[in-house]
Structure 1
């Protein structure tokens, strides 16, 4: 296995559910709870800006409407991405990957960037996210980990920035995932935590893949994954799990 520079505990979308997801406010709050690695979702605006958003549409986490990737950054940048969560975060803007990179590098924090393309934009989004990540983290000691459920997006990222580490996201063990993980030269397998058992951990290790899990919010689930010897736990429960805990 290649050396693994990332910590076990990873804060989901910045601070889980304690702040508006994928905003700088969330990453700052996650850091206040001791987290030094974060997961975020990155997609592409209509005019090529890489920004953070999980959903294809804007309604759930902003005051906008419609498909996010169909709007230019000038429109996305004016949206309120905080009021939906609580009054204390009203006016929090949509965050670019560039803004998050500056914060991560200034605070010695690491990042897992999930490539989250608008449907039909897998290749363009994978290419843009990888190129932007390579530019923003050029010369950094530890680059971001790029992950995606979409092999097409990871293939585009591989072609655009082959030196950046990649991980395949799985919600089920669909037929042929092993071949994709190998052809994409992935360093990690990131699974729904319920998928992991001793056999899958052994198979991942045989393939040279680190084992990460999402989204782990219960003590029993975290302890099961630690007992299996897996490498990474992505959690919303940043106020309940202490990331500095050596266990």
Structure 2
């Protein structure tokens, strides 16, 4: 199986994370996989952003599921990073699909958990809108859908059972029931935290024939070690510096 380097939120060492310039940096560096995140607004539009709140990566404030689309549309997602990116926008789901199609880039798309009073309703809407958008995705593009939330994976799986699903685990979450979680989510791929990840733990996961993609690894020697131990992929903020590990 071909090893993978996933450009985590694009290449955030070259452009603000989860913006079109960060994704375009993946193309210019000859990489084939990106990792990115989906969230939904109060009025049910889907955007590419990692945090629950707008505060860290834009000039707006508040949790995305509590604000209307117009707040996200007017947000400056680049000025916090550098003057070069002033006015950069938060991408939409449709922009992401077009980018993947135009550049033949594969994607790991993480479904963010939805919180708040309307959480279940908005979670259903997020999955439904994502599912409909995938009708426009080039079928030759490889896609993995991941989440920390088994509920989000279950909702998406009901709509698209044919897709590839991955469960994200923080290191402290890999307990005796980890494989039950995998089975409950119909997941064939596991995304463990790099923290405290050992060769023995990787062998344990491989025993069940899961693909293993590890997050988030920015040290090149560590990435090489993990690949040598048999993991299938690495999520990294420095994908441009890791690409020769695939040679």
TM-score (norm 2): 0.90
Give the total of aligned pairs. Answer: 242
2:139 is matched with which residue?
140
Find out whether 1:163 has 2:162 as its counterpart.
yes
Superposition pairs for residues 97-136 of structure 1, below 5 Å?
Answer: 97-120=93-116, 123-124=120-121, 126-136=123-133
Give the superposition deviation at 1:15. 0.9
Is the 1:129–1:157 contact (alpha carbons within 8 Å) kept by the matching residues of 2? no
* CA displacement 1:164-219 (0-9 Å, x = unmatched): 21100011213422101012110210011234323322222232310001111112
Q: Secondary structure at the match of 1:38?
A: strand
1:42 is matched with which residue?
38
1:226 is matched with which residue?
227
Runs of 4+ with deviation above 4 angstroms: 120-126
1:204 is matched with which residue?
205
Q: Secondary structure at the match of 1:240?
A: helix
2:84 is matched with which residue?
88
**Take 2:222 and 2:71, find their aligned partners in 1: how far apart are those partners?**
41
Q: Secondary structure at the match of 1:239?
A: helix
**Take 2:73 and 2:96, find their aligned partners in 1: how far apart are those partners?**
14
Is the 1:15–1:21 contact (alpha carbons within 8 Å) kept by the matching residues of 2? yes
Give the superposition deviation at 1:78. 1.1
Is the 1:127–1:159 contact (alpha carbons within 8 Å) kept by the matching residues of 2? no
Is the 1:212–1:233 contact (alpha carbons within 8 Å) kept by the matching residues of 2? yes
The structure richer in helix per residue is 2
Is the 1:45–1:73 contact (alpha carbons within 8 Å) kept by the matching residues of 2? yes
TM-score (norm 1): 0.90
* CA displacement 1:97-134 (0-9 Å, x = unmatched): 11111111110001111111232466455544443343
Give the superposition deviation at 1:34. 1.8
What is the RMSD computed on CA atoms of the aligned residues?
Answer: 2.0
Q: Secondary structure at the match of 2:110?
A: strand
